[in-house]
A and B are shown apart, each in its own frame.
Chain A
Amino acid sequence: MVSVGTANGSGSQSANLIIHRALFKMGLPVSGKNLFPSNIAGLPTWFLIRVTEEGYPAPADDTNIAILMNPDTWEKDLSKLKKGSVVIYNSDTRMPVERDDLILYDVPCSKIARGVNSKLAKLITNTVYVGALSEVIGIEQEAIVEALKHQFNNKQKAIELNLKAIDEGRNYIKENHKKDQPWKVERRDLTKDKMIVDGNQAGALGSLFGGVTFLAWYPITPSSSLAESLIGYLKQHREYVDGSKTYAVVQAEDELAAAGMVFGAGWAGSRSMTTTSGAGISLMTEFIGLGYYAEVPGVFWNIQRVGPSTGLPTRTQQSDINFCYKLGHGDSTHPVFLPATPKECFEFGWKSFDIAERFQTPTFVLSDLDLGMNPWISDDFEYPDKPFDRGKILKEEDLNKVESWGRYRDVDGDGIPYRTLPGNPHPDSSYFTRGSGHDEDATYSEDPEVYERNMKRLAKKHKGLRTKMPQPKIEHSSSNSKIGLISYGTVHTAIEETIDILKKQKVEIDYLRIRALPLSPKVNEFIDSHEEIFIVEQNRDAQMFNLIKEELDSLNIKKIKSCAYSDGMPMSASKISANIIEKTQIKINKKA
């Protein structure tokens, strides 16, 4: 793993993305994690690049090659390195490197950059280390050129300038460092036909192909890039030749207003959505309750960051699971999609509209900062295999055919009522939507029986989601393993590696990935068929563990154990596997 330590706002992100894409172009399944501060410029930032034959996406525990550019983190970054690690450092910082157990490459990045172009030196100082690293570990020049073209959108001047800086970086290594080191990359054929995409781009694309017509949003890290990507796609793909738009986007004054607009548009028949993060959801809570009770569709993307409160705005966590599932005062639950990959962000992007409109209810998609903002190697997205499901909407001609209708009547026995949209000319189409108590015909009511009947119908409706939401996937199955592992969301990306680590220790496990709430009956089946279950998740309070526990009988409760922790970083496979080894009661595996 390569760790690049720079200062925020110094242009290091493009240098790092060039390295990332060049490795990808060499056919290597490379992982990239941007660890950035909540700051515009100056604070430390790191970029972790990991290359493994298996394509493990989670970051490794140890850094093999450190690139030191930032004097502020110099000492600490150095102190963490194990003996024999490689260090490429900007010697123009005049910072000391007082360790003789490391393989050192000094590179005067600033001086070289000035030599390439004195005016633009600041912009290309970081590009010099791209060249140095490429020479040290063997990144092919052809791959670098391809990455540059992509990064700078084929702009010749920018490509030439950066290429020169890279060449100078390479040359410096060639001329001054004739030593060898153990970390090399070689071309493979493991990324053919794959994309580099982040979850927010994928979610935006999913929304586009879901036919979104209304987006109201308020900027908040790490969700803003979803809204901004979507705005970009909408401009390209959803405008008529005369420039008129088939969508509306409003940057609201706050998340309360964004949620209100989403429900206003959803109520009037638009496919409407918002993008936010936990703090924004807190503000939207009152509206979510209204949406649940008045039964109004809307899609709410929550790109989770670290809470509570402002928390760590630029770190990742899965701590809004319980919050979003049960959001609001009074009894309520909501459908929650739990994507683990960009591919699923795309899929759930369009499916969430179908669920929101079919079930006439606020619908969450819970991604997180790691998934949303980091570059991922992804397979192709699958074009939607179903037409839009706009749900139970009665048009004028439908109303002509029925004797009478009531907004909240359970005609089909599934708890899902029929709705009409404003503007329907049928004389019986209108109804009054309210967050206060109402009867089957949407008339105000405080009648105890009416209230209870309505709440029970809502519970029935939401129970129907258990089999209609994306079902859990058995991602790994070994013959007759007694241990089952359950996870969800981006933790998934550390689980394959966890399974491999455990295998080496002769511990076989099966793995089920939950993809939505409410929980599918299949989760129970998986628990039933194992002696011991570990629930791995990225929060302190074991939120999914507790949700699962609520639904199990006492016998099954005893066999589930939690592997929950969160430090704001993507989860590490070695920590998860160590936790499982420590906690397992299955004897045959203990000695390993």
Chain B
Amino acid sequence: MSKENILGLPIHEYKGGKSTLCAGCGHDSITDKIIKACFNNGIKPHMVAKMSGIGCSSKTPAYFLSKSHGFNTVHGRMPSVSTGAALANRKLTVLGVSGDGDTASIGIGQFVHCVRRNAPMVYIVENNGVYGLTKGQFSATADEGSKSKKGVPNEIPPIDLTSLAIQLGCGFVGKSFSGAPKQLTPLIQAALSYQGTAVIDVISPCVTFNNHEGSTRSYNYVKDHDIELQTLDYIPSFTPIDEIDIPQGESTDVEMHDGSTIRLTGTKEDYDVHNRNAAIGAINDSMAKGEHLTGLLYLDNAKKNIYQEMRLCETPLASLKQETTRPTEETLVKIMNSYK
């Protein structure tokens, strides 16, 4: 990797403040991949809006992209604030980070409707199955039977955010593991290129409260049960494709709207990344086996985003001038006459 990216920026331009999370926290690995993905994609840091809710995961935007504006909102409400920001300035790259409590418990309603609306944003869920900041209570994604640190099993079924997102019509759904950098970085890069809401559910073990024997979110468990659907490569629009080494095995290239390419290699037999029902079926099957199916699970590049649906003007709403947004006095007189 060259020391500077396409914009001539060194990677430290993409870094943030020092993490205050526990040593070994999966979230810090994800932070690292976000930095790499933004660096690799040559994203202008000042054009990124970092959004989050409340919780350990939601603290992380302070640890990457310090040159970007950030908004640490309220618990479970990152999606609505992000939607507002995305609509106010369509030139921004909205990068939302949330957790499983923030998204699947308190924020499930906002997650659901955010996905339905399809405002362009990357929505990363740092999923560890527990509430860390309040010391280890189960969240709504904890697997049935998974044991808490005190040995108490979770008795209610989990919400799987990936199949839910696909069901709701999300056009980009990925799943990954904080301990799988080769998969996670290109997945985030691809999500950053997607024109609508891109959801990535990342299993991110909580080293303090959910990394023990009997937990289905421990490093050991996930390493043993991570079934990678395919090998992912992301080729930015500014890199000529013929310069890329073709990995071994059969590969499929998917072109994104911004001209970049996702290369899927060695995909599991018969798996069609564009087939919604098949994706949901495969996720259900893997969950039944106690596995985590990871990779790019579903992609629909034809789906219209909220800007297209609304016919939003090209200029960011935030930049419109008074001449455009305040009608004339003559217009007011005409309107008033219609009430006379």
Distance between A538 CB and nearest chain B CB, rounded to angstroms: 26
Q: Does A52 contact B (CB under 8 A)?
A: no
Give B225-258 as 1s and 0s: 1 = Cβ < 8 Å from A's Cβ atoms: 0000000000000000000000000000000000
Give B300-319 as 1s and 0s: 1 = Cβ < 8 Å from A's Cβ atoms: 00000000001111111111
23 A–B pairs (Cβ distance < 8 Å), ordered by A: A196-B339, A240-B313, A246-B313, A248-B88, A257-B109, A259-B80, A260-B84, A261-B80, A264-B85, A264-B88, A265-B85, A265-B317, A267-B88, A270-B84, A381-B336, A383-B332, A421-B69, A422-B89, A423-B89, A423-B91, A431-B70, A432-B62, A433-B69
- Are A211 and B311 in contact (CB-based, < 8 A)? no
Question: What is the chain B residue whose CB lies nearest that of A264?
Answer: B84
Q: Which residues does chain A contribute within 8 Å of B51, judged by CB atoms? A: 264
- Are A286 and B74 in contact (CB-based, < 8 A)? yes
A267-B109 contact in complex given A244-B311, A262-B84, C-beta closer than 8 Å: no
- Are A431 and B80 in contact (CB-based, < 8 A)? no
Measured CA separation A253–B316 after assembly (Å):
24
Q: Which of B148-156, B212-220, B321-329 lies at the interface with chain A? A: B321-329
B88: which of A257, A270, A425 is its contact (CB, 8 Å)?
A270
- Are B326 and A268 in contact (CB-based, < 8 A)? no
Give A217-251 as 1s and 0s: 1 = Cβ < 8 Å from B's Cβ atoms: 00000000000000001000110100111111110
A268-B117 contact in complex given A205-B335, A260-B73, C-beta closer than 8 Å: no
Give A529-543 as 1s and 0s: 1 = Cβ < 8 Å from B's Cβ atoms: 000000000000000
Q: Which residues does chain B contribute within 8 Å of A272, judged by CB atoms? A: 84, 88
Q: Does B286 contact A (CB under 8 A)?
A: no
A423-B80 contact in complex given A250-B117, A429-B46, A431-B69, C-beta closer than 8 Å: no
Given contacts A213-B317, A260-B77, A434-B70, 15 further A-B contacts (CB under 8 A): A213-B88, A238-B327, A240-B313, A246-B325, A249-B310, A257-B109, A263-B73, A265-B318, A266-B88, A268-B88, A287-B74, A431-B69, A432-B70, A433-B72, A435-B73
A420-B69 contact in complex given A261-B84, A270-B318, A272-B84, C-beta closer than 8 Å: yes
A254-B109 contact in complex given A209-B332, A433-B72, C-beta closer than 8 Å: yes
User: DSSP majority for the B interface?
Assistant: helix
Q: Does A214 contact B (CB under 8 A)?
A: yes
Q: Does B110 contact A (CB under 8 A)?
A: yes
Q: Does A388 contact B (CB under 8 A)?
A: yes
- Are A216 and B339 in contact (CB-based, < 8 A)? no
Measured CA separation A212–B317 after assembly (Å):
9
- Are A260 and B110 in contact (CB-based, < 8 A)? yes
A268: which of B45, B49, B325, B339 is its contact (CB, 8 Å)?
B49
Q: Does A195 contact B (CB under 8 A)?
A: yes
Q: Does A465 contact B (CB under 8 A)?
A: no
Interface residues of A in 303-338 (CB under 8 A from B): none
Q: Which residues does chain A contribute within 8 Å of B113, judged by CB atoms? A: 252-253, 257
Give B66-85 as 1s and 0s: 1 = Cβ < 8 Å from A's Cβ atoms: 11111111100101111111
Distance between A143 CB and nearest chain B CB, rounded to angstroms: 14
Distance between A411 CB and nearest chain B CB, rounded to angstroms: 20
Measured CA separation A238–B109 after assembly (Å):
31
Q: Does A269 contact B (CB under 8 A)?
A: yes
Distance between B295 CB and nearest chain A CB, rounded to angstroms: 30
Question: What is the chain B residue whose CB lies nearest that of A260?
Answer: B80
Distance between A557 CB and nearest chain B CB, rounded to angstroms: 38
8 A-B pairs with least C-beta separation = A264-B84, A260-B80, A269-B318, A211-B325, A270-B88, A261-B84, A268-B88, A265-B84
Q: Which residues does chain B contribute within 8 Å of A421, judged by CB atoms? A: 69, 89, 318
Measured CA separation A214–B90 after assembly (Å):
13
Measured CA separation A441–B69 after assembly (Å):
13
Measured CA separation A380–B71 after assembly (Å):
42
Distance between B168 CB and nearest chain A CB, rounded to angstroms: 12
Distance between A167 CB and nearest chain B CB, rounded to angstroms: 26
Measured CA separation A429–B47 after assembly (Å):
11
Q: Which residues does chain A contribute within 8 Å of B91, judged by CB atoms? A: 423
Count A-side interface residues using an 8 Å CB cutoff: 74
Q: Does A290 contact B (CB under 8 A)?
A: yes
Interface residues of B in 84-105 (CB under 8 A from A): 84-89, 91-92
Question: What is the chain A residue whose CB lies nearest that of B47?
Answer: A423
Measured CA separation A252–B117 after assembly (Å):
10
Question: What is the chain A residue whose CB lies nearest that of B335?
Answer: A205
- Are B311 and A384 in contact (CB-based, < 8 A)? no
Q: Which residues does chain B contribute within 8 Å of A423, judged by CB atoms? A: 46-47, 69, 89, 91-92, 316, 318
Q: Does B320 contact A (CB under 8 A)?
A: yes
- Are A287 and B87 in contact (CB-based, < 8 A)? no
- Are A264 and B69 in contact (CB-based, < 8 A)? no
Q: Which residues does chain A contribute within 8 Å of B324, judged by CB atoms? A: 246
Distance between B133 CB and nearest chain A CB, rounded to angstroms: 12
- Are B83 and A261 in contact (CB-based, < 8 A)? yes
Q: Does A183 contact B (CB under 8 A)?
A: no
Interface residues of B in 169-208 (CB under 8 A from A): none
Q: Does B135 contact A (CB under 8 A)?
A: no
Q: Does A406 contact B (CB under 8 A)?
A: no
Q: Which residues does chain B contribute within 8 Å of A264, judged by CB atoms? A: 51, 71, 80-88
Question: What is the chain B residue whose CB lies nearest that of A254?
Answer: B109
Measured CA separation A193–B339 after assembly (Å):
10
- Are B110 and A209 in contact (CB-based, < 8 A)? no
- Are B317 and A435 in contact (CB-based, < 8 A)? no
Q: Which residues does chain B contribute within 8 Å of A58, judged by CB atoms? A: none
- Are A246 and B320 in contact (CB-based, < 8 A)? yes
A246-B69 contact in complex given A194-B340, A264-B83, A380-B336, C-beta closer than 8 Å: no
Interface residues of A in 337-390 (CB under 8 A from B): 378, 380-381, 383-384, 387-388
Q: Does A210 contact B (CB under 8 A)?
A: yes
Distance between A412 CB and nearest chain B CB, rounded to angstroms: 22
Measured CA separation A212–B110 after assembly (Å):
24
A425: which of B46, B73, B87, B316 is its contact (CB, 8 Å)?
B46
